Amino acid sequence: QVQLVESGGGVVQPGGSLRLSCAASGFTFSTFGMHWVRQAPGKGLEWVAVISYDGSNKYYADSLKGRFTISRDNSKNTLYLQMNSLRAEDTAVYYCGKDTGITMLRGAFDYWGQGTLVTVSS
């Protein structure tokens, strides 16, 4: 069965960096696009970024202003999110999600991970 397991969250000071990982199993990772979505405490879901199946296309939420970078390693079945210049407002649970499209982005999620909490605080 499909499993997505995020890791790498924790407490970081404002201005710091963190790299999240999402380990995938149960499907052919290299043929599906992948997304990151976040949820601030008590708030709704916010789309963060997406990467195509081969890593050639990446798109980000405008609000991130170039601070985050999505990447993937298909040999390791792992998705990443590098987060730099972190701010208090980046505090959230970060989820990875699998796109439904095979070798194309459809922007629809069919599976989600359990999330990893990032807290930006001094």
Partner 1 sequence: NFMLTQPHSVSESPGKTVTISCTRSSGNIASNYVQWYQQRPGSSPTTVIYEDHHRPSGVPDRFSGSIDISSNSASLTISGLKTEDEADYYCQSYDGRGVFGGGTKLTVL
Of 12, 79, 13, 3, the closest CA to residue 48 belongs to 79
Name the burial class of residue 25, with classes exposed (0-12), middle (13-18) and buried (19+) by CB atoms within 10 angstroms of its CB. exposed
- Find the shortest distance in angstroms from Cβ 74 to partner 1: 22
- Find the shortest distance in angstroms from Cβ 87 to partner 1: 20
Q: Which is nearer to partner 1, 29 or 97 (CB)?
A: 97
Neighbours of 30 (CB within 10 A): 15
- Find the shortest distance in angstroms from Cβ 60 to partner 1: 8
Q: Which is nearer to partner 1, 16 or 64 (CB)?
A: 64
Which range, of 23-31, 68-76, 78-86, 108-116, touches partner 1 by CB under 8 A? 108-116
Question: How far apart (Å, rounded) are the C-alpha atoms in residues 116 and 94?
Answer: 5
Question: How far apart (Å, rounded) are the C-alpha atoms in residues 97 and 35?
Answer: 5
Which range, of 24-32, 55-63, 69-77, 81-89, touches partner 1 by CB under 8 A? 55-63
89 binds partner 1 (CB under 8 A): no
Q: What are phi and psi of 90, to 5 degrees?
A: -85, -5
- Which residues 20-39 are close enough to bind partner 1 by CB under 8 A? 35, 37
